Amino acid sequence: MPEHRHQAQGRRTDGVYVPEAPTHSRERPTPPSGEDVATPGQVAALAAAMPERLRIAVPLAAWCAMRIGEVLGLQRRDLDHLDDAARATLHVRRQFNVKAGRLTPPKVGSTRSVALPAFLLTDLRTHLDTHTGPEPEAAVLATRRGRVSQTALDNAWRVARTEAGLPRFRFHDLRHTGLTVYAQQGATLAELLHRGGHTDVTVALRYQHATAERDRALTTRLNKIVTDG
């Protein structure tokens, strides 16, 4: 829910401080602009434009609502039941922290386990078989020399987004895309908080705005069908 900030004010009368009623200023969550939300087809085009060993990063960031550091910190052991769509799960347990130059716990309150979409499982299994070491701690995004760096991922991303016709689309916008689509399916605020690893309700509320927009669009279509019929 929106946050309210209280600013205490007062005055002195005959040497006695008399507080006045606090003033309220409401901070509203900024809704998605539309420019930071891609279509499923555009997400697929962005993935196709990435180098093969980095391609899986795109749908993971979008459809599992992962931050770039969480994608880089993902290990083989964080992916469970990839042969069973009803139980397939991704665990966010760590991130690659660029400032620290090492793996660290994710942002406070961001540790979570989320369901993997069935359409992603075949690509995930293929990626793990082809590009990820057999050890449980093996990085999902890896080269022969070790973990893929954020610099390498950023460089590949800039090329891919230009080839896909989205030259200003940020990697973090994939996460916005996934959470917006998730909200449009009717996710509750609690479900959005969990899927995105949010602790700030106002951040999650921006995606519920997308639900309101979707409701308005569907109502407009309903109106057309009824009035034209």
Active-site entry in 67, 127, 176, 206: 67
Identify whether 182 is a catalytic site residue: no
- Domain locations in the chain? 40-184
Q: Token match 């082809």: residue?
A: 130
Determine phi and psi for 165, rounding to 5 degrees: 80, 20
Identify whether 207 is a catalytic site residue: yes
Active-site entry in 6, 172, 216, 221: 172
Identify whether 175 is a catalytic site residue: yes
Does domain 40-184 fall under CATH 1.10.443.10? My reply is yes
Instruction: Give residue-wise pLDDT tens across range 135-147.
Output: 999 999 999 888 9
- Which among 155, 160, 174, 123 has a CA at the least distance from the CA of 45? 160
The Cα 144–Cα 131 span in angstroms is 9
Active-site entry in 112, 175, 176, 195: 175
- Tell me the pTM: 0.80
Instruction: Give residue-wise pLDDT tens across range 150-195.
Output: 999 999 999 999 999 999 999 999 999 999 999 988 888 999 999 9
Instruction: Give residue-wise pLDDT tens across range 87-118.
Output: 999 999 999 999 999 999 999 989 999 999 99
Active-site entry in 161, 176, 182, 207: 207
Q: What one-letter code names the amino acid at 179?
A: L
